[in-house]
């Protein structure tokens, strides 16, 4: 039995292809693995707070030395880290906003990239502590960024692959819905491609 952490970051409920395809993936995962548990976190309907100076101070204060206010401040971050640590599989819905991730997803990352919890510094440099997990990222973008002239503008997949790898999540697969602003046929084609990828991933 595995634990799946399912994170959505699209601000849209209707018409979001990152939500639609990641939701279809989760539904098929549940059907194929009925004993698995799925923990869902919607960063649009339940956003996590952006970092503040007080939060950073609490993060870098040893647990035994935190005052009552600092202990309260880190509770949200600790919960998010605990969810991630407990997961065997991570599924992220991440639409591209202005060439990168939604600010809600960046805020989540800022809470889970915690020294001593998800990475540590060693004599050989930083080491990610969340190893052995599989990550599926469902992206959606108005243009095509996987090839052609716009590749250089894709700061979503490059950022996520880097920061997830930094905390030890190196087995990351991206399922892209691209060109969704290029007409109905382009949407139909990319959704069909995404569904084919989902079927292949579930069957693997």
At residue 68, the pLDDT reads: 96
Contact 23, 57 (CB under 8 A): no
Of all residues in the chain, the percent with pLDDT exceeding 70 is 100
Residues contacting residue 6 through CB under 8 Å, at least 6 positions apart: 22, 26, 38, 39, 40, 41, 91
At residue 152, the pLDDT reads: 95
Is residue 146 a known part of a binding site?
no
- Which residue from 125, 138, 134, 137 is spatially nearest to 166, judged by alpha carbons? 125
At residue 204, the pLDDT reads: 84
Distance from the Cα of residue 181 to its chain's centroid: 23
Mean pLDDT of the chain: 96
Q: List pLDDT tens digits, range 168-199.
A: 999 999 999 999 999 999 999 999 999 999 99
The count of other CB atoms within 10 Å of the CB of residue 1 is 8
Q: List pLDDT tens digits, range 113-158.
A: 999 999 999 999 999 999 999 999 999 999 999 999 999 999 999 9
- State yes or no: pLDDT of 11 exceeds 90: yes
> CA 90, CA 75: separation in Å to the nearest integer?
21
At residue 14, the pLDDT reads: 84
Of all residues in the chain, the percent with pLDDT exceeding 90 is 97
Q: Which domains, from first to last, does the chain contain?
A: 3-203 (3.40.50.360)
Is residue 22 a known part of a binding site?
no
DSSP secondary structure string for all residues of 29-63: HHHH-TT-EEEEEETTTSPPPPP-HHHHHHHTS-G
> CA 131, CA 165: separation in Å to the nearest integer?
9
- State yes or no: pLDDT of 79 exceeds 90: yes
pTM over 0.85: yes
Is residue 18 a known part of a binding site?
yes
Is residue 16 a known part of a binding site?
yes
Q: List pLDDT tens digits, range 14-35.
A: 889 999 999 999 999 999 999 9
Contact 6, 126 (CB under 8 A): no
- State yes or no: pLDDT of 81 exceeds 90: yes
Q: List pLDDT tens digits, range 32-64.
A: 999 999 999 999 999 999 999 999 999 999 999
Contact 9, 94 (CB under 8 A): yes
How many residues does the structure list for the chain?
204
At residue 6, the pLDDT reads: 98
Is residue 97 a known part of a binding site?
yes
> CA 26, CA 33: separation in Å to the nearest integer?
10
Is residue 96 a known part of a binding site?
yes
């Amino acid at each position: 039995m595995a634990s799946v952490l399912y994170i959505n970051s699209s601000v849209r409920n209707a018409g979001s292809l990152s939500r639609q395809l990641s939701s279809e993936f989760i539904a098929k995962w549940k059907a194929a693995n009925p004993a698995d548990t799925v923990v869902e976190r919607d960063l649009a309907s339940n956003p996590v707070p952006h970092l503040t100076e007080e939060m950073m101070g609490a993060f870098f204060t040893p647990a035994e030395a935190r005052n009552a206010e600092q202990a309260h401040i880190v509770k949200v971050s600790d919960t998010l880290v605990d969810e991630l640590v407990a997961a065997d599989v991570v599924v992220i819905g991440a639409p591209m906003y202005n060439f990168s991730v939604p600010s809600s997803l960046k805020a989540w990352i800022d809470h889970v990239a915690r020294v001593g919890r998800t990475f540590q510094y060693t004599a050989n440099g930083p080491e990610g502590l969340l190893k052995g997990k599989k990550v599926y990222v469902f992206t959606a973008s108005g243009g095509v960024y996987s090839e052609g002239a716009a590749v250089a503008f894709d700061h979503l997949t490059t950022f996520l692959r880097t920061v997830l790898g930094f905390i030890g999540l190196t087995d990351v697969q991206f399922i892209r819905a691209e060109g969704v602003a290029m007409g109905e046929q382009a949407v139909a084609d990319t959704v069909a491609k995404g569904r084919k990828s989902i079927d292949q991933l579930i069957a693997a």
